Amino acid sequence: MKATPLMFILFRFYLMSFGKTSFGSRWVKRFLVWRFIWKEKERYVASSKYFTPDELC
């Protein structure tokens, strides 16, 4: 799944919504959000990959 401009906009909005925090915790939160979105993307992209008998052919 390719990243779209809308995704970047939403991501920036998400980061901006954190408000005023200390410098260190702000970057920790940004990393955690990025990592969460990245992992979610992987889960979304991956098909269910269940086995069906047609795979035997």
Partner 1 sequence: MKGSFDRFRQIVLSQIPRLLGLGDRDPFSETYGCFDRVFWHYRLIDFPNARFQEACWPLSLLYRHSFEGNLYYQNEKVRQWTEAAIRFWASHRHRDGSLDEAYPNERGFCVTAFSTFAVTEAMLLLQIRVPNLEKTGRWLLGHDQPFVANQMAASAVALLNLYQLTNEKRYLRASQERISTLLSSQDETGFFPEYGGADIGYLSLTLACLAHYWRQTKEGPLWESMGRALKFLEERVEEDGHYDYRQTSRKTQFLYSYGLAISDSPPLERLTQGLEQGTLLNPVWLDDRYFIQLTTDYLETYLLSWESRR
Q: 5, 34, 30: which is closest to 18 by C-alpha?
A: 30
Residue 20 or 49: the one with the smaller Cβ distance to partner 1 is 49
CB of 21 to partner 1, least distance (A): 28
d(CA 28, CA 41): 20
What tokens does 45 get? 């992209």
CB of 56 to partner 1, least distance (A): 5
What tokens does 54 get? 């047609």
Query: Which residues are near partner 1 by CB under 8 A?
Result: 39, 42-43, 46, 49-53, 55-56
CB of 37 to partner 1, least distance (A): 14
